[in-house]
Structure 1
Amino acid sequence: MDNLENLQKELYTPSKPELPQVDPEKKVQEPPLAPPPLYEDTPPSPAIWRKVLLGAGVFLLLAVTVAVYVFFRGFYAFRKDRVELKLQGPTEITAGQTSVWKLAIVNKNETELKDGELIFQFPDFSKPIIASSESSQFKQGTLKQTVPLAELKPGGLFEREFRAVIYGGENFERKAQAVFKFKPSSGSIIFESSATVATNITSLPVALAMEAVSETVSGEKMEIKFNLKNESEAGFPNMRVRLEFPSGFRVEETSEKLYEFNNVWRVDEFLPQESKGLVIKGTVTGLEGENKVFRAFLEGLEGTNWKIYKEISGQVGLITPPLSLYLNTEPEGVTSARAGETLFYKFVWQNNLDAPLANLTLKIKLDSDNFDFSSVEIGSPSGQVKNINFNSSARTATLNRDNFAPFFGIQPLERSELTLRVKIKEKLSSAGGKLPVSATLDSTSKPEGLAVSQISASQSLTLEIKSGE
C-alpha cells in the first residue's frame, strides 16, 4: 500500500520551472499608495431641476385630483337643492269654501334622507279639516299640522293633501306654507326647504242690505231695516254688524239688542242659508236739503281685532216738509211774562206740496198749571172757529174739520193762521216756573209718490215767568 502511494506521488508531481532572475536595480517600482483625488462641488444642471419640479408637480396634481374627486363625489351624492318641495293650491276662492293644497317632496339625491319633519301652516283664521287618524299631528290654536317622515329613499316621492275652510272679506289674502326639515343619511346637519301659496278671497257670500225711505222731513220718525242672508252652504263664526248713524238721528227702538255704544248688532255664529233682520226706529233732525248717511259694516273677528268684510251705505234726504207750522208770540219775540198778564200766540201753517191736503187736525197744548185755562180764546181772521172746548185735564185744545172749516182741506201753497189768547194766573203755583206751549198739525191724506211716511208738523215755544212787584 505504501509502495502504491509513493508511486502516485512520483507520477503526478510536476516539475517546477525556473523563474527568470531579475536585477533588483532594474525591478519595476510600484507607485506609492495615496488617497483618491478630491473632486470640486458643482450645482445640478437646470435639466435636473426641471425633472425634479416636474415630478413634484405631477405628484401634487394627482393628490389634488384625488381630493377633489373624493369631495365632489360626496357633494354629488347629496345636495340640498336636489330636495324639491312643491306646494299647489287655489289662487282665488270664495269665502266659506274648502281649499285643497297638494304637496309633493322629491329626493333627487343619491343618498337617503332621514329624520324628516313636514310642518304645514294653514292660513290665518281658517278652519282646518283634520282626519281623526291625524288628530295627533294637529295642535289646536296653532293652525299647524306636523307630519313625521322617518326616511325618504334616493329618488323617492312623498305626497300629501291638506284641506281647510277659508274665511275673510272680499280681496283678503290668505297664505299657506309648508316647511320640510331633514338630514342626509350620512350627516347630522338639519336642512330645510319651504314653499308658500297665496290665495285671494274674491267674494263673501253673505248679503247685507239696508231699507229706508229716501226722503223725510226734519223731526219725523223713521224706520231702517237691515237684512243679512248667508247664501252659502258654510257657516261663518264670530261675525257682527257695526252701524254708523248720522248726526241728528236718535235711536228710539230696536228689534234686536244693540251693544257697545248702541251701534253693534251681534250675529256670532251665522249658519248656512240663514237669514237675520234688524229693525231700528228713531227720529232724524237736520236742515232742509241735508243728506243723512247711514252705514253698516259686516265684520269678522280675527285674533282680537274686528276686520271689515263688507260695507253698505244709504242716505236719507231732508226735504221741505209737506206741511209747515210756525208758532210765535204776538207781538213776536216775547220771552217772559208776569203773573196776571195776558199772552197772545200765533199759529201759521202752509201746504208746501203741489197737491191739496185734506182732513187736517191741530192740537195745541198749554203745558203749565200757571195758565188760566178758563181764559183761553181761539180766533181766526176768517172767523170760522166755533165750539172749541179746551180740555183742562189734558191741557189741550183740538181743532179739526168739525169745528174749523178750513181743515176740510188746504190747497197747494195755501197759508192759514189762528190766534190764541190766554191769561196767566194771578197766583202762581210755582215761582220762577216756565210756560211751555206746543202744537202739532197733521193730515190723513198722502199724495201719491210722496217719500215721507206721515204728513205732520210740530212746533213748541217756552216763556219764562218773570217775578214782578
Structure 2
Amino acid sequence: MPLEELQKKLYEQKGEAEKREGAPGQFEPGQRQDGQETDSSQWQKEALASREPFLTEKRKKLLRIIIIGLVGIVVVVGGFLFWRSRSFDTSKVLVTVFGVDRVASGEEVSYAVRYQNNTNVTLTDVKLTFIYPPDSLPIDKQNLTKIGDQDASVVSLADLQAGKEGKMEFRANISGLKDDQKKAVVKLSYHAGDTSSSFESSGEFLSVIFSVPLVLNFSLPERVVNGQQLDIVLKYLNTSDIGFLDLALNMEYPPGFNFISSQPSPSQGSNSWRLPEISPQEEGQIVISGVLTGAQEEVKAFRANIAKLQGDSSKIVSEGLGSTLISLSPLSVALTVNDSRDYLANVGEHLTYKLTYQNTVDIPIGPVIIIVKLDTKALDLSSVKADKGFFNSVDSSIIWNESVLPDLKMVQPGAKNEINFYVNVKDSMPVASFNDKNFVISVSSKIDSTTIPVSLRGTQISGTDFLNTKVNAKLTLSSKGYFKDLSVPNSGPIPPRVGQETTYTIYWDIVNAANDVDNVVVEGYLPPYVRWVGLFDPASANVKYDKNSGKITWTIGKLPANTGILYPVKRLVFKIGFTPSSSQVGQMIDLVSESTISGSDTFTGASLQGTARAIRSDLPDDSSIGYDGGKVIQ
C-alpha cells in the first residue's frame, strides 16, 4: 500500500474508525476463544495429581526425633539445674589446725583446731579425728585410739548449724631427731542436710624439730702435763619427759691420746658405747682413762656425739666438745730417734735415741732421776749402750741419776741438756705365728724428783714422753742360676762354646718378713747375647718379656707378711739360652743382670726396694760348674 493511503486511513474521523477491526478479546490461559480447554490446562491437573504430600512418613519420623531430643535437653538441663540447686559444696566446710613451727624434741605442743560450717544446711553426725605426729605422746588419753601406727583422738560432735563454728585443743609431747618434720592431721566427717552421703573435710600442720634435749658435758682439767694420765668424765642428760631408744655414744680422741680403760667398757673398739634407752630426766656418765701427749701449749679437743641407730646407719642427734691444754711440767723430757719423731726403722738397723731434759721453772729442782724403758720384741737388747747410763736387762730399762750424771744432783732453772743411748733392730723379727707382724718399737721416758720445792707443792713436777717407731717389712730377692736342674733339664756344652747354645735355669726367690706388702714387682734384664726361651714356672705367673730391651717383669701384687717363713717362698723359675761369640772367649759372662724388687709396706706406708746380684756363667750356686766351667771356649 502506498504511504499516502496508509496515512489517510490512520487519520480518518471517528465514524470511520469504528469501521476498523475490533480489538482482540482478552486471552484466558487454558482456553480457546471458542470456549475449549487448552492442552496446558490438562497438564497442570495431571501434575497436581502426581505431586507428594508435604508431611511424608519420613518427615513425620524426623519431626518426632527432633521433638523428643528437645524434650530430653529440657529434662537434662532442668535436672542439672535442680541438682545444682540441691547439691553440697564441701569447700564451704573449713577445718584448720594451728601449732608451733619449730619445736624441741620432747617439748609439749598445743594444737588449736577450728571448724566452720559456711553452708546453708545443718551438718549432722559430725565426727572430728585428730591424728598426732609420729613418735609423739598425747597428753589427753580420752578418746584415744590407733590409726595405723599413729595415735589419734576421735571426738563425736553435736550437729553444726549453718554459719556456725567450733574449736578444740589437743596437746602432745613431740619427739624425734634434729630436722625431723612432724605433721599433725585433722579430719571432720559429717552428713549434710537431708542427704544420705557422708562428706569429709581436712587440714594439717607441719612442725620442724630444731633441737634434741640430750645434753653432753665434758669434765676435763684445764691444763695437763705432756704424758700425763688423766680421767675424762663425759656426762649425758635427757632434759625432757620422754625417753629415747636405740642410741650410741661415740667419742673422737685427739692425736696423742692413748686409751687405757673406761667405765663402763666400750661396746665397740675404744670409743663407742651402746645406749639401749635414755629414760626421761635420766643422767649418766662414762669415765675414760688414758695418757695424753703433745707439744707445749697445744690444744687437745675431745668430741662426742649421741647418734640414733637406724639399721646399718645412724643419725647424730646431739654433740659435745671438751678441750684441754698441754703444758710443760716443771721437769720435761722429750725423745727422738735418728733425729726424728716419725722415723721408720728397718730390720738390722742401728738406732740413735736422743733424750732432752729441761727444768722449765725459775727455781732449781733436784736430785733428779731419769728412766727409759724399752718395750718391744723388735730390738736386740744385747746391743744397748747408754751415755753414762745403766742398762738393767731384767726390766729393759736405762737409768740416770746423780751418781752417773752429776748434773742431775740439782737441775738449775731453765737448764736444758741431752743424753743419748743406742740400740740395734734385730736382723730378723721373732715370728712364731701368723699374728707376728706389724712390729712397733715402744720407748717411754720419765723424769722426776722426790724432792718437791715448796712453791711447787700440789703440782705434778714429773715429765714423761712416749715414742713409738714402726718397723718396715724386709723384702728380700735372691737370684740363682743352674745348669744341672732336675726339674728343668738343660742342654749344650759346659764350658760354653763359641757358636753353640747352652741353656740355663734361673730362680728368683722372694722372702717377706714383718708386714704385708702390696704392689710387688721384680725386674731384671737379659744381655743381647742371651735368649729368652719362653718357659717359666708357675705358668700362671704374670711374667712379661720385652725382646727389644731384654727386660723381664714379674708382677706379683700383694705379698703377705712372713712369706718364706710361715708361708712358702714366692718363686719364679725361667729358662734362658746363651750362644757365645768369639769375642767372649776366655771371659766369664753375665747371663742375667742385677735384678730389683719393689713394693709398698701396708703397715708403715714406706716404699720398699731390694736387689739381687747378677748371675754369671760360672753359676756359683751350681756346684757342678766351677770357675773354669763358666769361661767361654773356642
TM over 0.5: yes
Alignment match, 2:244 = 237
Alignment match, 1:398 = 399
- The letter of the residue matching 1:350 is Y
1:325 aligns to 2:342 (yes or no) = no
CA offsets per residue over residues 243-280 of structure 1, 9 Å max, x none? 33345544331112333454333344333443211122
1:280 aligns to 2:281 (yes or no) = no
Alignment match, 1:74 = 86
Q: CA deviation at 1:282?
A: 2.9
1:226–1:277 Cα contact (<8 Å) kept: yes
Change (3 A) 1:455 1:365: closer
Give 2:446's match in structure 1, choosing from 436, 441, 450: 441
CA offsets per residue over residues 126-156 of structure 1, 9 Å max, x none? 122452x534x32462234445669655456
Change (3 A) 1:458 1:437: closer
1:379 aligns to 2:388 (yes or no) = yes
| CA RMSD of superposed structures (Å) | 5.1
Change (3 A) 1:207 1:272: same
Secondary structure of the residue aligned to 1:351 is: strand
2:359–2:411 Cα contact (<8 Å) kept: no
Secondary structure of the residue aligned to 2:399 is: strand
Identity of aligned residues (%): 21
Q: CA deviation at 1:411?
A: 2.8
Unaligned runs of 5+ in 1: 1-61, 381-387, 425-429, 465-469
Alignment match, 2:220 = 212
- The letter of the residue matching 2:249 is V
Give 1:125's match in structure 2, choosing from 131, 135, 149: 135
- The letter of the residue matching 1:84 is L
Q: CA deviation at 1:336?
A: 7.8
1:213–1:452 Cα contact (<8 Å) kept: no
Give 2:305's match in structure 1, choosing from 283, 297, 300: 297
Give 1:98's match in structure 2, choosing from 108, 111, 118: 108
Q: Distance in 1 between matches of 2:396 and 2:123?
A: 96
Which residues of 2 match residues 298-447 of structure 1 at below 5 A? 298-300=306-308, 306-316=314-324, 323-326=332-335, 348-351=355-358, 353-356=360-363, 357-365=365-373, 379=388, 391-401=392-402, 404-418=405-419, 432=428, 438=443, 440-444=445-449
Greater length-normalized contact order (CA 8 Å, ≥ 6 residues apart): 1
Unaligned runs of 5+ in 2: 1-73, 431-439, 473-634
Q: Distance in 1 between matches of 2:238 and 2:126?
A: 43
Give 2:205's match in structure 1, choosing from 197, 218, 223: 197
Alignment match, 2:618 = none
Change (3 A) 1:335 1:451: farther
Q: When the two structures are superposed, what TM-score results if normalisation uses the length of structure 1?
A: 0.61
Q: Distance in 2 between matches of 1:353 and 1:156?
A: 85
CA offsets per residue over residues 320-348 of structure 1, 9 Å max, x none? 78623346689xx997879xxxx997754
- The letter of the residue matching 2:261 is E
Q: CA deviation at 1:164?
A: 1.6
Secondary structure of the residue aligned to 1:98 is: strand
Secondary structure of the residue aligned to 2:86 is: helix
Secondary structure of the residue aligned to 1:81 is: helix
Q: Distance in 2 between matches of 1:443 and 1:462?
A: 28
1:327–1:460 Cα contact (<8 Å) kept: no
Secondary structure of the residue aligned to 1:118 is: strand
- The letter of the residue matching 2:416 is R
Moved more, 192-201 or 151-160: 151-160
Q: Distance in 1 between matches of 2:192 and 2:351?
A: 104
Alignment match, 1:24 = none
Change (3 A) 1:442 1:189: farther
Change (3 A) 1:190 1:140: closer
Q: When the two structures are superposed, what TM-score results if normalisation uses the length of structure 2?
A: 0.47
2:328–2:360 Cα contact (<8 Å) kept: no
Which residues of 2 match residues 58-207 of structure 1 at below 5 A? 70=82, 73-75=85-87, 78-91=88-101, 93-114=103-124, 116-129=126-139, 131=141, 134-135=143-144, 137-139=145-147, 141-147=149-155, 152=160, 154=162, 159-168=167-176, 173-187=181-195, 191-199=199-207, 201=209, 204-207=212-215
CA offsets per residue over residues 12-43 of structure 1, 9 Å max, x none? xxxxxxxxxxxxxxxxxxxxxxxxxxxxxxxx
1:235–1:269 Cα contact (<8 Å) kept: no
1:223–1:279 Cα contact (<8 Å) kept: yes
Q: Distance in 1 between matches of 2:79 and 2:441?
A: 109
CA offsets per residue over residues 278-328 of structure 1, 9 Å max, x none? 122234566777654332223446899644333222345566786233466
Q: CA deviation at 1:178?
A: 0.9
2:348–2:427 Cα contact (<8 Å) kept: no
Change (3 A) 1:298 1:450: farther
Q: Distance in 1 between matches of 2:76 and 2:130?
A: 45
Q: Distance in 2 between matches of 1:251 and 1:215?
A: 18
1:251 aligns to 2:263 (yes or no) = no
Change (3 A) 1:245 1:449: farther
Q: CA deviation at 1:413?
A: 3.5
Give 1:227's match in structure 2, choosing from 235, 250, 253: 235
Secondary structure of the residue aligned to 2:264 is: coil
- The letter of the residue matching 1:230 is N
Q: Distance in 1 between matches of 2:296 and 2:460?
A: 14
Alignment match, 1:43 = none
Q: Distance in 2 between matches of 1:372 and 1:142?
A: 74
Change (3 A) 1:299 1:118: farther
Q: Distance in 2 between matches of 1:72 and 1:281?
A: 81
Which residues of 2 match residues 259-270 of structure 1 at below 5 A? 259-260=267-268, 262-270=270-278
- The letter of the residue matching 2:408 is F
Secondary structure of the residue aligned to 1:413 is: coil
- The letter of the residue matching 2:414 is L
- The letter of the residue matching 1:167 is S
